[in-house]
Amino acid sequence: MAFMTLFIITGAVAVAAALGLLFARNAVYAALFLVLNMFALAVLYLMLGAPFIAMVQITVYAGAIMVLFLFVIMLLGAEQLKEDGGPIAWQRPLALVLGVALLLEVTYFVFAALGTGVRLLPPPEGFGDPHAVGLTLFQQYLLPFEVTSVLLLVAMVGAIVLVKNGRARAASSSEAGEQ
Amino acid sequence: MVPTSFYIFLAALLFTIGAVAVLFRRNTLVIYMAVELMLNAANLAFVAFARQFEALDGQLFVFFVMTVAAAEVAVGLALIVTIFRTKHSVDIDAMHELKG
């Protein structure tokens, strides 16, 4: 019962934060709402027996990734943007209808396939703690882990190259403009 | 205990809000954050199913999704910064042509 109450409160916080992201006028507020959403999800991960993933969620997602987002928002000065309907007038009503249709579909299939049966078995001892996750990661998933390191390296080099080229091009175009 | 279907329903709800936000908003950075929200919703479904089947594989997939999301954010934000240099806007409608 305590778990159910906690789930309802945390789920309400997560949904409210997501709606805040949807409706926030200011991009910085939207980013902070997303941080709140990620903290709520970390609490849900803890309830689901995934303490390691919950901590990684807070440090990597709410910490590193969102700081990068906030940094770029403030760097570009793109907090406020005129949010009118855009060139296609029927886009937003259609988006709402399609979103509701998607939600109804998924809800139907989730409850049809899984039901609302309560599984009372507690998780096995040590399920999801860093020890168990580490053993599985470095035995069963060693190759994907190494591929991930290459992916991060490629992403880092790619980000640097993209920004560096942009600066060179902007500098050359401004020089051309002066001449 | 909370049934697994409730967690999956919450994940579906968050995913839908993210998808609608992608279609609603005009600010590229907010659209990008909505994509992150959808990734998070998928992660919640992964962890919920990992709990139901008592298999750690679901949690490790979340770990890999987070790594890919970090790489994606780094490259994507670099792209947005580069586009901003030429278009001087983050409005999604400013990016309607391939020529820079």
* A64 interaction partners in chain B (CB closer than 8 Å): 70
Residue A161 distance to chain B (closest CA, Å): 9
Question: Which of B2, B52, B82 is facing A163, going by the closest CB pair?
Answer: B82
What is the signed CA dihedral for A41, A43, A48, A52, rounded to 10 degrees? 90
* A125 interaction partners in chain B (CB closer than 8 Å): none
Pick the CATH number of B4-98 from 1.10.287.3510, 3.40.50.10600, 3.40.1190.20, 3.30.499.10: 1.10.287.3510
Entry pTM: 0.89
Half-sphere exposure of A16 (CA within 13 A, CB side): 9
Q: Which residues contact A8 (CB under 8 A, 6 or more apart)?
A: none
Contact predicate A99/B22, CB 8 Å: no
Digit-coded pLDDT (tens) for B82-94: 888 888 888 888 8
Q: Which residues contact A98 (CB under 8 A, 6 or more apart)?
A: B23
Contact predicate A13/B13, CB 8 Å: no
* B37 interaction partners in chain A (CB closer than 8 Å): 18, 21, 34, 37
Question: Which of A86, A94, A100 is facing B93, going by the closest CB pair?
Answer: A86
Which has the higher per-residue pLDDT, A24 or A172? Answer: A24
Q: Which residues contact B62 (CB under 8 A, 6 or more apart)?
A: A50, A53, B43, B46, B47, B50
Q: Which residues contact A179 (CB under 8 A, 6 or more apart)?
A: none
Here the ipTM equals: 0.92
* B25 interaction partners in chain A (CB closer than 8 Å): 22, 83
A1-81: what fold?
Answer: Four Helix Bundle (Hemerythrin (Met), subunit A) (1.20.120)
Segments making up each domain of chain A, as ranges? 1-81, 141-179
Digit-coded pLDDT (tens) for A68-127: 999 999 988 877 776 666 677 788 889 899 999 999 998 898 888 877 776 656 777 778
pLDDT band at B12 (very low <50, low <70, confident <90, very high): very high
Interface contact B2-A47, CB threshold 8 A: yes
* Nearest residue in B to A102, CA atom: B16
Kindly state the tokens that stand for B62: 């979340």
